[in-house]
């Protein structure tokens, strides 16, 4: 990373370091050591603020001194034009990170980084015989993200990363990040939070899903009617009077021992994600009804 920054600087460029997740850096390295010119540091994930559903995003943005004249200020303290109505952003959530850092201390934060890296590499080693893994280093290691490549699997079987993501719901998991930063992949970030039993439960689910994909690829299940493309399965599926699928209801709804012991039930079957993203659907009364009132 230092070499990359030096090459960009030699060419007259500036480096912006994405600090959306610092799980592999805290206590071991820093953006300043790496040599970036601008670095934002999101407090979610790395510093304990929950992240999901679009927020809350919060954290400082640091720049080198030569960029300081270009920083925004705030009218409250008379330091220039504001870019945010709230001078300190979403300050009410900052005590979460403060308390986390204070309780962990420097040794604890460094240990969390090491565990996050270890957890990701453990997942990588367990899944590597079943899924291609991207961006392994010169020694075969990864940082805090394990990115598995579904593109060759999709080409061979027709099963997509979305099918895997939806099938994970039947196993009781929210899917890892899908198609980011690489389209057609799943990015797994176990962080330091999950114990080995939970990591194994997830890996077991992913391995079982790979075995299901093999059944589709071998023709045992048709591509248009199998547990993956029909996932997730609901209680309504379990209780339906008719069952015309080439796999059992048990396979559909209870694919693992954990699912049998403590089942999380998806409330609806698969929705069209892309359609929902591209078409505004409002459950409120029509505009015409407001005009009548």
CB contact at 8 A, 180 and 187: yes
Residues 146-197 have pLDDT tens digits of 999 999 999 999 999 999 999 999 999 999 999 989 999 999 999 898 999 9
Confidence (pLDDT) at 111: 97
Bigger pLDDT: 150 vs 277 = 150
| pLDDT above 70 coverage of the chain, percent | 97
Can you tell me the distance from the alpha carbon of 112 to that of 240, in angstroms, rounded to the nearest whole number?
47
CB contact at 8 A, 112 and 103: no
Q: Is the pLDDT of residue 258 over 80?
A: yes
Q: Is the pLDDT of residue 256 over 70?
A: yes
Q: Is the dihedral of CA 51, 53, 56, 60 positive or negative?
A: positive
Q: Is the pLDDT of residue 238 over 80?
A: yes
Can you tell me the distance from the alpha carbon of 188 to that of 122, in angstroms, rounded to the nearest whole number?
11
| Mean pLDDT score, 257-283 | 89
Residues 200-215 have pLDDT tens digits of 999 999 999 999 999 9
Strand partners of residue 134: 147
> Which strands form 185-188's sheet, in the order they lie side by side?
133-134, 146-149, 185-188, 177-178
Confidence (pLDDT) at 56: 60
Confidence of residue 115 (pLDDT cuts 50, 70, 90): very high
Confidence (pLDDT) at 86: 77
Q: Is the pLDDT of residue 293 over 60?
A: no
| Mean pLDDT score, 103-118 | 96
Residues 19-65 have pLDDT tens digits of 878 888 999 988 888 999 999 888 887 888 876 655 566 788 889 99
- pTM over cut 0.85: yes
Confidence of residue 7 (pLDDT cuts 50, 70, 90): very high
Confidence (pLDDT) at 267: 92
To the nearest whole number, what is the mean pLDDT of the chain? Answer: 91
CB contact at 8 A, 186 and 206: no
Confidence (pLDDT) at 249: 97
Confidence (pLDDT) at 105: 97
Indicate the pairing of strand 185-188 with strand 146-149: antiparallel
Lookup result for tokens 């940082």: 143
| Mean pLDDT score, 224-236 | 97
23-27, 86-90, 154-158, 250-254: lowest mean pLDDT where?
Answer: 86-90
Assigned token pair, 74? 């705030």
DSSP string, the chain: -HHHHHHHHHTT---EE--S--TTTTTT--HHHHT-SEEE---BTTTSB--BTTB-----EEE-GGGGGG----TTTTSS--SSSSTTSSGGGHHHHHHHHHHHHHHHHHHHHHHHHHHHHHHHHHHTTTS-EE---TTS---S-EEEE-HHHHHHHS--HHHHHHHHHHTT----EES-SSTTEEEE--TTTS-HHHHHHHHHHHHHHHHHHHHHHTTSS-TTSSTTTTPSP-HHHHH-S---SSS-HHHHH--SHHHHHSPPPPSS----HHHHHHS----SPPHHHHHH-
Confidence (pLDDT) at 189: 93
Can you tell me the distance from the alpha carbon of 72 to that of 82, in angstroms, rounded to the nearest whole number?
6
| pLDDT above 90 coverage of the chain, percent | 67
């Amino acid at each position: 990373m230092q070499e990359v920054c030096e090459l960009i600087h030699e060419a007259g460029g500036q480096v912006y370091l994405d600090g959306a997740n610092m799980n592999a850096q805290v206590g071991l390295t820093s953006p300043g050591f790496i040599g970036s010119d601008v670095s934002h540091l999101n407090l979610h994930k790395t510093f304990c603020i929950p992240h999901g559903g679009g927020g809350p995003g919060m954290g400082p943005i640091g720049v080198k001194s030569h960029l300081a004249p270009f920083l925004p200020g705030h009218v409250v303290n008379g330091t220039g034009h504001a870019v945010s109505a709230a001078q300190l952003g979403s300050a009410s959530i900052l005590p979460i990170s403060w308390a986390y850092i204070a309780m962990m201390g420097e040794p604890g934060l460094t240990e969390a980084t090491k565990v996050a890296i270890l957890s990701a590499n453990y997942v990588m080693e367990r899944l590597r015989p079943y899924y291609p893994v991207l961006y392994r280093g010169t020694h075969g290691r990864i940082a805090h993200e394990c990115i598995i490549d579904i593109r060759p699997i999709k080409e061979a079987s027709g099963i997509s990363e979305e099918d895997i993501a939806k099938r994970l719901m039947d196993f009781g998991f929210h899917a890892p990040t899908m198609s980011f930063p690489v389209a057609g992949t799943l990015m797994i970030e176990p962080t330091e939070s999950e114990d080995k039993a939970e990591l194994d439960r997830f890996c077991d689910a992913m391995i079982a899903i790979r075995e299901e994909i093999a059944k589709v690829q071998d023709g045992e299940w048709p591509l248009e009617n199998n547990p993956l493309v029909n996932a997730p399965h609901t209680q309504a599926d379990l209780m339906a009077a008719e069952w015309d699928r080439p796999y059992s209801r048990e396979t559909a709804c209870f694919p693992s021992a954990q699912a049998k012991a403590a089942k999380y039930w998806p409330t609806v079957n698969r929705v069209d994600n892309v359609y929902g993203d591209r078409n505004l659907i409002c459950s409120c009364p029509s505009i015409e009804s407001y005009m009548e009132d």
